[in-house]
Amino acid sequence: MSNNYLKAALITTICFSGFAQAAVTANDLYNQYKNKPDNKAYAIGTNGVAGSSWGASTKEEAMTLALDTCKKTGGKNCNVTEVNGLSFIKNEPQVKNYSTVNNYNIVSNGVTYIPDLDFSATAFFVNNRHLITTSDVVENCTKISFERDGKIHETTVIRADKMNNISIIKSSIKNDSYATLSSKMRTLQGERTYTYGYDLSDMVNSNIPSYQGKITDGIISRASGRFNDVRFMYITNEINRGNVGGPVISESGDVIGLVSRTNQESIKASILSIFLSEQKIPYHVNNSTKQVSISSIAEKSRNFSVPLVCLNKA
């Protein structure tokens, strides 16, 4: 093993074991790694602790040391994400024309993005390809993707309406389930409501950010928004950032609104219908009043809604 290899291990260990006077972030370490000679590797854990190595005799040796260093310095579920400057996926070391997420870096069409792990939001399908969420959610991200079945899928923003805080995004994959919008034109104060949204979990998944769905119940507390704005309503459901962009659901399982903000403001389904129609986006409506079980509402909502992933260029 070369002296440079040992030196890299020592430097990385000191940086992340807390013995150094100046803290070195995973991003700083990654920038150091990029400028080093080949037979180098970079590994990172789901808690943001990283390790790297360079100047090893082989790339396999560099991978082993980077992974060991990440683990020894407190990294959780560490994985090697790059080898010799290329995104590394087990059994598939070359960057191809799709997105991959490696705890820290997402590579899409050769461009590296970093997921914003402080970001939480939801979207839901209105047909097999199109999803709806808020415009606030999409405007602060370079790219918007979503997680489904342990994979990250890309979307394209079709249209954003900042006045009503709605946006339509198109999925790169087909989804079998979609929401049905309520055809009711009148909002009834006191009507029972359910919301479904996703929060970032403790990220035990070693490959991608991990999310957990949550259903909450409440009622419509105000049938209109501020200044009697009939586009909006207020609900009593417990709402956090992960609910924003997610559906408000009636007892019949139909979507009667979209959570606009964490202050429990929601935009009504009638406005969503107008917006979708103006953009010629197909959607489905239902006028059933038959109540369904809460567990059925939760299962249905889980199938047509997804957690969003905010990506910004590295």
Look at residue 89 and tell me whether its pLDDT is greater than 80: no
Mean pLDDT of 305-311: 93
Q: What is the pLDDT of residue 9?
A: 39
pLDDT-derived band of residue 114, with 50, 70 and 90 as boundaries? Answer: confident
Q: What is the pLDDT of residue 70?
A: 83
Q: What is the pLDDT of residue 12?
A: 39
pLDDT in tens, 230-244: 999 999 999 999 999
Mean pLDDT of 50-77: 83
Higher pLDDT, 266 or 20: 266
Mean pLDDT of 38-45: 83
Domain boundaries of the chain, sorted by first residue: 3-94, 122-313
CB proximity list for 7: less than 8 A, separation 6 or greater: 55
CB proximity list for 103: less than 8 A, separation 6 or greater: 44, 45, 46, 77, 79, 81, 206, 207, 208
pLDDT-derived band of residue 24, with 50, 70 and 90 as boundaries? Answer: low
Range in 24-28, 136-140, 198-202 the model is least confident about = 24-28
Mean pLDDT of 265-277: 96
Determine what percent of the chain is predicted with pLDDT higher than 90: 47
CATH code for residues 122-313: 2.40.10.120
Give, in order, the Cα–Cα distances in Å from 191 to each of 251, 256, 258, 312.
9, 11, 15, 40
Average pLDDT along the chain: 82
Identity of the highest mean pLDDT range in 109-118, 145-154, 302-311: 302-311
Higher pLDDT, 23 or 238: 238
pLDDT-derived band of residue 110, with 50, 70 and 90 as boundaries? Answer: low
Look at residue 147 and tell me whether its pLDDT is greater than 50: yes
Q: What is the pLDDT of residue 261?
A: 92
Look at residue 56 and tell me whether its pLDDT is greater than 50: yes
pTM value is 0.67
Mean pLDDT of 18-33: 58
